[in-house]
Chains A and B, each alone.
Chain A
Amino acid sequence: MSNSSPPDRHRLGRRALVAAAATTFAMPATAATPDPAITTLPDWSQSLGDGVQAHPYGVPSPFEKHVIRRDVEWLTAGQQSSVNFTPIHALDGTITPNGLCFERHHSGVAAVDPDQHRLMIHGMVAKPVVLTMQDLKRLPRSNRIYFLECAANSGMEWRGAQLNGAQFTHGMIHNVQYTGVSLRSVFEALGIDPRAKWVMAEGADAAGLNRSIPLAKAMDDCMLAFAMNGEALRPEQGYPLRLVVPGWQGNMWVKWLRRLKIGDAPWETREETSKYTDLLADGRARRSTFVMDAKSVITSPSPQTAASPKGQMVISGIAWSGRGSVTRVDVSLDGGRNWQAARIDGPVQSLALVRFYADIDWNGQEMLLQSRAQDSTGYLQPSKNDLRKIRGVNSIYHNNGIQTWLLRGDGICENVEVS
Chain B
Amino acid sequence: MTMLAAMCVNLSAAELPVGRPPLPAEIAAWDIDARPDGQGLPRGQGSVKQGETLYLERCAACHGEFGEGAGRWPELAGGVGTLAHERPFKTVGSYWPHATTAFDYIRRAMPFGQAQSLQSDEIYALVAFILNLNDIVKDDFVASQANLPTIKMPNAAGFYDDDRETAERGFWVATPCMTDCKPPARITGHASAVDVTPDSKTAPKME
Which A residues contact B (CB, under 8 angstroms)? 1-4, 6, 9, 13, 65-66, 68-74, 76-77, 80-81, 106-107, 120, 122, 127-132, 135-136, 138-140, 160-165, 168, 185-186, 188-190, 200, 202, 206-210, 258-259, 261, 263, 265, 267-270, 273-274, 277, 279, 281-291, 293, 303, 328, 330, 334-340, 368, 372, 374, 377-382, 386, 390, 394, 404, 406, 414-419
Contact = CB atoms under 8 A, between A and B. Distances in A.
B190 interface: yes
Contacts of A4: 187, 190
Nearest to B88: A394
Given A127-B16, A330-B178, A339-B176, A140 B115 contact: no
* Count class of interface residues, chain B: 35 or more
Given A274-B101, A334-B185, 11 more contacts: A68-B203, A106-B109, A188-B11, A268-B97, A283-B83, A303-B197, A330-B176, A339-B178, A380-B171, A414-B191, A415-B190
9 contacts: A68-B206, A80-B113, A120-B30, A128-B22, A139-B11, A161-B190, A269-B104, A270-B105, A417-B187
Contact of A128 (B27, B34, B179): B27
B182 interface: yes
A243 to B, nearest CB: 16
Please list the 3 inter-chain residue pairs (A to B) with the smallest Cβ-Cβ separation, ordered nearest first: A335-B185, A283-B84, A208-B108
B11 A185 contact: yes
Contacts of B188: 1, 3, 160, 416-419
Contact of B33 (A127, A200, A335, A340): A200
B184 A129 contact: no
B11 A189 contact: yes
Interface string B147-163: 00000000000111111
A337 B188 CA distance: 15
A263 B39 CA distance: 10
A171 to B, nearest CB: 12
A76 B84 CA distance: 24
B96 to A, nearest CB: 6
Given A2-B189, A210-B104, A416-B191, A339 B177 contact: yes
Contacts, number: 296
Contact of B35 (A186, A267, A415): A267
B18 interface: yes
Nearest to A4: B187
A337 B11 contact: no
B101 A270 contact: yes
Contact of B21 (A2, A127, A381): A127
B1 interface: no
Contacts of B204: 68-71
Interface in B4-56: 9, 11-12, 14-22, 26-27, 30-37, 39
Contacts of B96: 270, 273-274
Nearest to A70: B203
B73 A77 contact: yes
A135 B164 CA distance: 40
Interface in B90-121: 90, 92, 95-98, 100-102, 104-105, 108-109, 112-113, 115-116
Contacts of A2: 189-190, 193
A195 to B, nearest CB: 14
B197 A336 contact: no
Contacts of B198: 70-73, 168
B83 A279 contact: yes
B7 to A, nearest CB: 12
Contact of B12 (A66, A188, A374, A377): A188
Given A274-B101, A281-B84, A394-B88, A129 B202 contact: no
